[in-house]
Amino acid sequence: MPDSGSYHHHRRKMSSEDENFDEKAQRRIIDAKVKARPELDMCGWTKFNHIEKFDLNYRPDNCERIRIHQVSTEEFIAKYEMKYRPVVITGVCDDWKTMEKWNLEKLAKKYRNQKFKCGEDNEGYSVKLKMKYFVHYMKNNQDDSPLYIFDSTFGEHPRKKKLLEDYQVPAYFRDDLFKYAGEEKRPPYRWFVMGSARSGTGIHIDPLGTSAWNALVMGTKRWCLFPTNTPKELIKVQPNEGGNQTDEAITWFSVIYPRTQMDDWPKQFKPIEIIQKAGETVFVPSGWWHVVLNLDNTIAVTQNFCSLTNFPIVWHKTVRGRPKLSVKWLDNLTKHLPELTTIAQRIDLNQPTGVASDSDDSSSSSSDSECSNPDCSCRKSCNSDNDNNRNNDDDDDDLQISTTNKYKRKRYRSTSVSSNEDNSNK
């Protein structure tokens, strides 16, 4: 494989153009790395030598699979969605243009100078790299837990929104009740996801009680999923175990995963394990803990949703986590789907949902404030992406907005925020 710098037949000698590209790529990548993980010095990125030590070829899978054309939407809802049962769906991407258009070469060409979010700085602002540099990084890095594109703004961007033309929301997931909160106000809900081997997402629960589908277009992802009532202490890497890599997926698979395979691990908390191949879509029901590691270069698209099925849970968590948004949302729901208003009004906000949030003090707790947790490894923060709204104080009285920028930056730092502050506004 030619590296990203060489387009020419004579590869023995790099042209000065190529050298310039490589140097500039290097500079931009270092810049992004320093911003995204200031606690790591340059050696900190390769300290554990996971590139040689971590076995990417161990590939366990015990998850049920269904074919989209063999299971109707009604059947899917009854058998999986209503039972909050994870499943892998095959055949979803068969007629997507992604299969032909989403690969490193074509993306590096078509989106060459477009910037994609690949991290967050200490203040909670996006760290971005141009596609051409990120692809170069994917092909060349040896990092333990590499930078990872997780971009939720592509759909609103004049150029990047072309990506929307290449896939469709699978038939099972067409309900999208958050659209009634307004395209501007609704929490981020779709992400373009791209990263090299060893990158991934640490263990978390998706925000606001939403469920998700995650369609893999290229490469292989390894997943572990745990039921919502799994004790946090059992499955989270403790600060003293992970060094400054506590939240990284590869740390999780090195430290916690082996314990899940021991005889003394509680049977009811055994993980569902998935080796997701290109063309497969994972359904993650509301409240499930999950952790994902890329086993090679991967490209995926994922969306979170509120459906008629999970609405009671999402409503409950939205009222608590995003009170102001919930008012506007209910207003519009009343206009468009009046029967949901009744359901919403009947939900006792003082009763626990039975579905955990990442920010809960314990998974059985009913405290549902969202995204104020400094330890949260969820890349799908439930507030609008801070990209475009550096100065947007519009939503200031929503719990998470007023806390997120303050606390989120602590993700990789010691937790200096007392946990009772997490649950203010209740």
Ligand X SMILES: O=C(O)CCC(=O)C(=O)O
Q: Note the residues at the interface with ligand X (CB under 6 A).
A: 193, 200-201, 206, 212, 214, 221, 284, 290, 292, 300, 302
* Smaller CB separation from Fe ion, 28 or 206: 206
Minimum distance, C-beta of residue 354 to ligand X, in the bound complex (Å): 20
**Binding partner of 300, given Fe ion, ligand X, none, CB within 5-8 angstroms per partner class:** ligand X
Minimum distance, C-beta of residue 190 to ligand X, in the bound complex (Å): 11
Minimum distance, C-beta of residue 50 to ligand X, in the bound complex (Å): 16
Q: Tokens 């153009």 sit at which residue?
A: 17
Q: What are phi and psi of 267, to 5 degrees?
A: -55, -40
* Smaller CB separation from ligand X, 129 or 224: 224
* Smaller CB separation from Fe ion, 4 or 211: 211
**Binding partner of 141, given Fe ion, ligand X, none, CB within 5-8 angstroms per partner class:** none
Q: Tokens 């490469």 sit at which residue?
A: 219
Does the footprint of Fe ion cover residue 368 (CB under 5 A)?
Answer: no
Does the footprint of Fe ion cover residue 398 (CB under 5 A)?
Answer: no
* Smaller CB separation from ligand X, 117 or 290: 290
Checking DSSP bridges between strand 87-90 and strand 65-67, what pairing results, if any? Answer: parallel
**Binding partner of 292, given ligand X, Fe ion, none, CB within 5-8 angstroms per partner class:** ligand X
**Binding partner of 381, given ligand X, Fe ion, none, CB within 5-8 angstroms per partner class:** none
Binding residues among 56-115 for Fe ion as defined by CB under 5 A: none
The Cα–Cα gap between 299 and 150 comes to 10
- Contact (CB, 8 A) for 333 and 302: no
Minimum distance, C-beta of residue 229 to ligand X, in the bound complex (Å): 19
The Cα–Cα gap between 395 and 4 comes to 43
**Binding partner of 383, given Fe ion, ligand X, none, CB within 5-8 angstroms per partner class:** none
Checking DSSP bridges between strand 87-90 and strand 280-284, what pairing results, if any? Answer: antiparallel
**Binding partner of 200, given ligand X, Fe ion, none, CB within 5-8 angstroms per partner class:** ligand X
Q: Which residue is nearest to Fe ion (CB)?
A: 206
Q: Which of 251, 133, 246, 255 is nearest to 194 (CA)?
A: 133
Does the footprint of Fe ion cover residue 206 (CB under 5 A)?
Answer: yes
Minimum distance, C-beta of residue 211 to Fe ion, in the bound complex (Å): 10
SS3 of residue 282 by DSSP: strand
Minimum distance, C-beta of residue 150 to ligand X, in the bound complex (Å): 7
Q: What are phi and psi of 208, to 5 degrees?
A: 55, 25
Q: Which of 92, 63, 75 is nearest to 284 (CA)?
A: 63
What does the radius of gyration of the chain's CA atoms come to, in whole angstroms? 21
The Cα–Cα gap between 365 and 355 comes to 9
Of 7-15, 189-197, 198-206, 272-280, the segment contacting Fe ion by CB under 5 A is 198-206
The Cα–Cα gap between 270 and 61 comes to 12
Minimum distance, C-beta of residue 236 to ligand X, in the bound complex (Å): 15
Minimum distance, C-beta of residue 200 to ligand X, in the bound complex (Å): 5
Q: Which of 59, 229, 90 is nearest to 172 (CA)?
A: 90
* Smaller CB separation from Fe ion, 107 or 208: 208
Minimum distance, C-beta of residue 221 to ligand X, in the bound complex (Å): 6
SS3 of residue 224 by DSSP: strand
Q: Which of 155, 156, 158, 151 is nearest to 131 (CA)?
A: 151
- Contact (CB, 8 A) for 50 and 41: no
Burial class (CB in 10 A: 0-12, 13-18, 19+), 279: middle
Of 70-78, 81-89, 200-208, 270-278, the segment contacting Fe ion by CB under 5 A is 200-208
- Site residues (CB under 5 A) for Fe ion? 206
